[in-house]
Homo-oligomer: A and B are copies of this chain.
Amino acid sequence: MTAECSSTKTQLRRHPERGSHDLEVVRTILDEALICHVGFVHDGCPVVIPTIHARRGDTLYLHGSPASRMLRGLASGLAVCVTATLIDGLVLAKSWFHHSLNYRSVVIFGSATVVGDAEEKTEALRVIVEHVKPGRTREARPPNARELSGTLVLSLPITESSAKIRTGGPIDDADDAGHPAWTGVVPVTSPR
């Protein structure tokens, strides 16, 4: 199953005009999003779990306990879909129908591999802690050998990905021009 799952195969998103495969856009969204949602198939059933991620170059790192069944599943090469979403604004229109959200999202398809090399593993954990709080790895204590072996780190290439973005104000029907409701975008900020 793994090798067959790609963004080309799963073009399920509407509004193709909002799509972008620009890797620089993908990188920016991944860096700005504090967490992602990891999707995989377990006994034929879809499962979506939130987790923290961090990017280094064009690699996305996930981590957790070696006892995590999700991570163990992904470590075995299970197909994975990682989605990260930022909400930028509430789009308030004249009609209920044209209400929307401004957002930026990334969907990555692929399969993860275990990071076994201690140096890369430490570096992956460094970028994950830095992702939570920039500068933090210089203040806190780095992992010792026991903690390193007590952490499973997975890497996933971000190359098989797409971004989708909505920006701008509401698009109202001309017929609604006279409706008195205020329209515009209420900015919101995603946690960082």
- Using a CB–CB distance below 8 Å, which chain A residues touch chain B? 1, 4-5, 9-14, 34-35, 37-50, 52, 64-65, 67-70, 73, 79-83, 85, 87, 90, 92-97, 99, 101, 103, 105, 107, 109, 125-126, 129, 132-133, 136-137, 139-143, 147, 150-151, 176, 179-182, 186, 188-192
Q: How far is the CA of A107 from the CA of B49 in the complex (A)?
A: 8
A87 to chain B, nearest CB (A): 4
Question: Assuming the A-B contacts A101-B132, A141-B96, are A45 and B10 also in contact, with contact meaning beta carbons closer than 8 angstroms in the complex?
Answer: yes
Chain B contacts of A73 at CB under 8 A?
12
Main secondary structure on A side of the interface with B: mixed
Q: How far is the CA of A80 from the CA of B107 in the complex (A)?
A: 17
Contact B96 A129 (CB under 8 A): yes
Contact A45 B181 (CB under 8 A): no
Contact B101 A46 (CB under 8 A): no
A98 to chain B, nearest CB (A): 8
Contact B1 A44 (CB under 8 A): yes
Contact A141 B176 (CB under 8 A): yes
Contact A107 B9 (CB under 8 A): no
Q: How far is the CA of A99 from the CA of B132 in the complex (A)?
A: 9
Contact A50 B83 (CB under 8 A): yes
Chain B contacts of A46 at CB under 8 A?
5, 39-41, 46-47, 79-81
Query: Can you list the 3 inter-chain pairs with the closest CB atoms, starting with the nearest?
Result: A5-B45, A39-B48, A188-B191
Chain B contacts of A87 at CB under 8 A?
34-35, 191
Chain B contacts of A136 at CB under 8 A?
92, 96, 99
Contact A142 B96 (CB under 8 A): yes
Question: Assuming the A-B contacts A45-B1, A48-B39, are A97 and B10 also in contact, with contact meaning beta carbons closer than 8 angstroms in the complex?
Answer: no
